């Protein structure tokens, strides 16, 4: 599938509190050393799920250990109390919520980054040697275009299409955007098993997590007819089912956690689409166990 880059658009993700990068050597500030860094993730959160999938695809259990966090943060401000010491050590008088995901430096006890896309890229680029390339040479612009397509054409469009306060014309326009985006993806996936090239890339991770959110979160705010129209893309949902059966993907899918996180944060109205599940995710997921974390290319 060839993806045409779109114009930049403001991200729907919260602004990161920390955005350090892992570099190639000591002059880069944070250089790649096995077991120096640790991830703090909640797979019920989309950014956490993306990073967890990338981490498993690359087989980084030993090189970069993971601390898994509860699906629902335990602080009134939406943060995790378990992360508060890291935030306090990393920024003097930090007053914001202690959010995940976090990449921390065990040598200093401080945070390197809370920016999910940067964390995933740095893991792949600096710890992925000899493993499947999730960012193949020459595909960066296509991967970024898929990320924007998922954020704008699916995530934002689904939110607007199911917004209780929006008028009918706004919801209709958002639905057109959503179905148009799914149609483009359906056409591409009808001809090949992956979005870009012949193997799994970061674009597939991005789209799969977005489809999980569409079926487990956004579906609850759409009417039944809309959900059936969304489901009417057989190649797209077969692709989602196939990746869910891959241990690096389905092994991190915490359906109960996603549901609890959604209901803890959601302020919208539930619609008839809640009853029209597109994919039985629990049937197709495979847990990650032991050496299965080091997953071969699909």
Cα distance between residue 43 and residue 40, in whole Å = 10
The fourth-level CATH superfamily of domain 22-127 is Glutaredoxin (3.40.30.10)
Helix axes 202-216, 140-148, angle to 10 degrees: 10
Q: Which residue has the tokens 């930049």?
A: 8
Residue 65 confidence (pLDDT) above 60: yes
- Intra-chain end-to-end CA distance of the chain, in Å: 17
Contact 277, 218 (CB under 8 A): no
Q: What is the pLDDT of residues 70-109, one digit of tens each?
A: 999 999 999 999 999 999 999 988 999 999 999 999 999 9
- For the chain, give every domain's residue range: 22-127, 140-293
- Which tokens in the block code for residue 281? 């995710």
- What pLDDT shows up at residue 244? 96
Q: Residue 228 CB: number of other CB atoms within 10 A? A: 13
| Mean of pLDDT values over 169-188 | 96
Cα distance between residue 270 and residue 219, in whole Å = 9
- What pLDDT shows up at residue 292? 36
Q: pTM of the predicted model, to two decimals?
A: 0.88
Contact 298, 193 (CB under 8 A): yes
Asked, colleague to colleague, whether 22-127 and 140-293 share their fold, the answer is no
- What pLDDT shows up at residue 28? 62
Cα distance between residue 149 and residue 172, in whole Å = 18
Give 34's Cβ-side CA count (13 Å radius): 8
Q: How confident is the model at residue 6 (pLDDT cuts 50, 70, 90)?
A: very low
Class of domain 140-293: mainly alpha
Q: What is the pLDDT of residues 285-295, one digit of tens each?
A: 655 544 333 33
- What pLDDT shows up at residue 174? 96
- What pLDDT shows up at residue 228? 94
């Amino acid at each position: 599938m060839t993806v045409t880059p779109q114009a930049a658009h403001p991200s729907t993700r919260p602004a990161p509190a920390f955005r350090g990068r892992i570099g190639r050597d000591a002059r880069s500030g944070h250089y790649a050393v096995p077991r120096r860094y640790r991830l703090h993730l909640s797979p019920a959160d989309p950014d956490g799920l993306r990073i967890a999938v990338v981490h498993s695809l690359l087989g980084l259990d030993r090189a970069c250990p993971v601390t898994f966090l509860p699906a629902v943060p335990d602080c009134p401000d939406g943060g995790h109390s378990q992360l508060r010491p890291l935030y306090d050590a990393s920024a003097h008088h930090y007053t914001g919520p202690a959010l995940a995901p976090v990449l921390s430096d065990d040598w200093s006890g401080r945070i390197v980054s809370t920016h999910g896309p940067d964390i995933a890229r740095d893991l792949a680029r600096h710890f992925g040697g000899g493993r499947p390339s999730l960012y193949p040479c020459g595909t960066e612009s296509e991967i970024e275009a898929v990320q924007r397509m998922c954020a704008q054409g699916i995530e934002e469009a689904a939110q607007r299409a199911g917004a209780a306060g929006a008028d009918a014309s706004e919801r209709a326009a958002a639905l057109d955007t959503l179905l148009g985006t799914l149609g483009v993806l359906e056409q591409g996936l009808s001809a090949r098993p992956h979005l870009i090239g012949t193997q799994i890339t970061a674009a597939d991770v991005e789209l799969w997590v977005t489809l999980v959110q569409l079926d487990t979160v956004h579906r609850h705010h759409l009417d039944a007819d809309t959900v059936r129209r969304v489901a009417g893309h057989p190649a797209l949902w077969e692709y989602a089912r196939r990746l869910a059966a891959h241990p690096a993907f389905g092994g991190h899918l915490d359906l109960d956690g996603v549901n609890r996180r959604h209901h803890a944060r959601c302020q919208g109205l539930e619609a008839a689409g809640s009853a029209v599940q597109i994919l039985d995710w629990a049937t197709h997921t495979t847990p990650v166990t032991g050496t299965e974390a080091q997953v071969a290319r699909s």
